[in-house]
Amino acid sequence: MDRYEPLKIEEKWQKIWEETEAFSAKEIDGMPKMMLAEMFPYPSGAGLHVGHVRNFTIVDVLTRFYRQQGLNVLRPFGYDTFGLPAENYAIKTGTAPQEITKVNIDNFRKQAKKLGFAIDWSREVNTSDPEYYKWTQWCFLQLYKKGLAYQKESYQWWCPEDQTVLANEQVENGKCWRCGHEVEKKKMKQWFFKITEYADELLDEIDNLEWPEKIKTMQKNWIGRSAGAEIDFKADNGKNITVFTTRPDTIKGATFIVLAPEYQGLDFIVTDDCKDAVMKYKADALKKSEVERQENKEKTGVFTGSYAVNPATKEKIPIWVADYVLAGYGTGAIMAVPAMDDRDREFAEKFDLPIVETELVDRDLYGTPKVTYKMRDWLISRQRYWGCPIPIAYDKEGNPHPIPEDQLPVIIPEVEDYQPDNSGRSALAKAKDWLKVTIDGEEMTRETDTLDGYACSSWYLWRYASPHDNKAAWDSEAIKYWEPVDYYVGADHAVAHLLYIRFWCKFFADQGYLPFREPIKRLLYNGYINAPDGKKMSKSKGNVIDPLDVINDGYGADTLRTYEMFIGPYDMDAAWDPRSVGGVYRFLNRCYNLLGDIKEVDNIIIRNKTIKKVTEDIHKYNFNTAVAALMEYVNELYKVGASSEDLVTLAKLLKPFAPHLASEMLEKLDADDEWPKWDEKYLVSDTVTVVVQINGKLRAKLEVSADDLEDEKKIMDMVLSDRKVQKYTEDGIKKQIFVKKAKLVNLVV
Ligand code: ANZ
Q: Map out the domains of the chain as residue ranges.
A: 136-194+378-453, 226-372, 687-748
Please report the atom of ligand 1 found closest to the CA of residue 294. Answer: 19
Whole-number Å distance between alpha carbons of 43 and 531: 22
Q: What is the distance between the terminal CA atoms of the chain, rounded to a whole angstrom? A: 54
Residue type, 336: A
Summarize the chain as % helix, strand, coil (round to 5): 40, 20, 40
Pocket, ligand 1, Cβ cutoff 6 A: 226, 228, 244-247, 250, 260, 325-326, 329-330, 332, 334-335, 337, 340-341, 372
3-state secondary structure 469-480: CCCCCCCHHHHH
Q: In what order do the strands lie in the sheet with 184-193?
A: 164-166, 149-159, 184-193, 378-379
User: At 718, is the secondary structure helix, strand, or coil?
Assistant: helix
Mean pLDDT in order along the chain per 10 residues (749 residues):
95 98 96 98 93 98 98 98 89 92 96 97 98 98 98 85 78 83 86 97 97 96 96 93 97 98 93 96 83 81 97 97 92 97 96 95 90 93 94 97 98 90 83 96 96 97 98 97 98 93 98 98 97 89 92 97 98 95 98 96 93 98 98 96 97 98 98 96 78 92 84 90 87 91 92
In the prediction, which pLDDT does 685 show? 60
484: cis peptide before it, omega within 30°? yes
Closest residue by CA, ligand 1 atom 22: 246
Backbone angles phi, psi at 397, to 5 degrees: -85, -5
Q: State the sign of the Cα–Cα–Cα–Cα dihedral 220, 499, 428, 143.
A: negative
In the prediction, which pLDDT does 422 show? 67
Closest residue by CA, ligand 1 atom 19: 325
DSSP H or E run through 723: helix 723-728
Distant-in-sequence, close-in-space partners of 61: CB < 8 Å, separation ≥ 6: 565, 618, 623, 656, 657
In the prediction, which pLDDT does 237 show? 87
| Residue 560 vs residues 59, 591, 662, 727: alpha-carbon distances, Å | 15, 16, 15, 29
Whole-number Å distance between alpha carbons of 594 and 637: 8
Under DSSP, the state recorded for 31 is S
Closest residue by CA, ligand 1 atom 27: 245
Pocket test for ligand 1, best of 244, 346, 366 (most atoms within 8 A of CB): 244
Closest residue by CA, ligand 1 atom 9: 226
Whole-number Å distance between alpha carbons of 460 and 457: 5
User: At 535, is the secondary structure helix, strand, or coil?
Assistant: coil
Ligand 1 centroid–CA 244 distance in Å is: 7
- Cβ pair 407, 414 in contact under 8 A: no
Closest residue by CA, ligand 1 atom 7: 341
Whole-number Å distance between alpha carbons of 692 and 700: 5
User: What does pTM read for this prediction?
Assistant: 0.85
Whole-number Å distance between alpha carbons of 594 and 520: 42
Please report the atom of ligand 1 found closest to the CA of residue 246. Answer: 27
Closest residue by CA, ligand 1 atom 25: 245
Alpha helix ranges (H) inside 172-315: 199-204, 213-223, 266-269, 275-286, 290-294
Residue 462, Cβ density class (10 Å: 0-12 exposed, 13-18 middle, ≥19 buried): buried
Ligand 1 centroid–CA 334 distance in Å is: 7
Closest residue by CA, ligand 1 atom 11: 226
Ligand 1 centroid–CA 219 distance in Å is: 21
User: At 710, is the secondary structure helix, strand, or coil?
Assistant: helix
Ligand 1 centroid–CA 313 distance in Å is: 20
Ligand 1 centroid–CA 262 distance in Å is: 17
Q: State the sign of the Cα–Cα–Cα–Cα dihedral 725, 727, 732, 735.
A: negative
Q: State the sign of the Cα–Cα–Cα–Cα dihedral 455, 460, 466, 470.
A: positive
- Cβ pair 576, 532 in contact under 8 A: yes
Distant-in-sequence, close-in-space partners of 32: CB < 8 Å, separation ≥ 6: 71, 72
Ligand 1 centroid–CA 317 distance in Å is: 18
User: At 231, is the secondary structure helix, strand, or coil?
Assistant: strand
Residue type, 701: K
Neighbours of 242 (CB within 10 A): 15
Whole-number Å distance between alpha carbons of 169 and 183: 13
Ligand 1 centroid–CA 340 distance in Å is: 11
- Give me the residues paired with residue 605 across strands: none
**Would you give the distance in Å from CA 99 to the centre of its chain?**
28
Closest residue by CA, ligand 1 atom 18: 325
Whole-number Å distance between alpha carbons of 579 and 589: 15
Quick one: angle between helices 497-510 and 213-223, nearest 10? 70
Ligand 1 centroid–CA 633 distance in Å is: 60
In the Cβ-directed half-sphere of 710, how many Cα atoms lie within 13 Å?
A: 2
Nearest CA-CA partner of 499 in 207, 225, 227, 198: 198
Whole-number Å distance between alpha carbons of 601 and 644: 9
Whole-number Å distance between alpha carbons of 716 and 699: 15
Whole-number Å distance between alpha carbons of 10 and 16: 10
130: cis peptide before it, omega within 30°? no
Q: What letters, b where the CB count within 10 A reaches 16 and e where it falls short, cover 312-325?
A: beeeebbbbbbbbb
Residue type, 170: Q
Distant-in-sequence, close-in-space partners of 459: CB < 8 Å, separation ≥ 6: 135, 136, 139, 473, 474, 501, 504, 508
Ligand 1 centroid–CA 190 distance in Å is: 28
Please report the atom of ligand 1 found closest to the CA of residue 340. Answer: 31
List the CATH code of the domain at 687-748.
3.10.20.590
Task: Supply the DSSP string of 139-178, one letter for each residue.
Answer: HHHHHHHTT-EEEEEEEEEEETTTTEEE-GGGEETTEETT
Pocket test for ligand 1, best of 231, 293, 329, 372 (most atoms within 8 A of CB): 329
Alpha helix ranges (H) inside 447-514: 453-456, 460-463, 476-482, 497-510
Please report the atom of ligand 1 found closest to the CA of residue 253. Answer: 3
- Cβ pair 246, 227 in contact under 8 A: yes
In the prediction, which pLDDT does 178 show? 81
Pocket test for ligand 1, best of 243, 246, 310 (most atoms within 8 A of CB): 246
Residue 578, Cβ density class (10 Å: 0-12 exposed, 13-18 middle, ≥19 buried): exposed
- Cβ pair 269, 237 in contact under 8 A: yes
| Residue 465 vs residues 239, 457, 517: alpha-carbon distances, Å | 56, 15, 16
List the CATH code of the domain at 226-372.
3.90.740.10
Whole-number Å distance between alpha carbons of 349 and 351: 6
- Give me the residues paired with residue 379 across strands: 192
Ligand 1 centroid–CA 433 distance in Å is: 52
In the prediction, which pLDDT does 658 show? 98
Whole-number Å distance between alpha carbons of 665 and 719: 35
- Cβ pair 194, 148 in contact under 8 A: yes
Ligand 1 centroid–CA 325 distance in Å is: 9
User: At 522, is the secondary structure helix, strand, or coil?
Assistant: strand
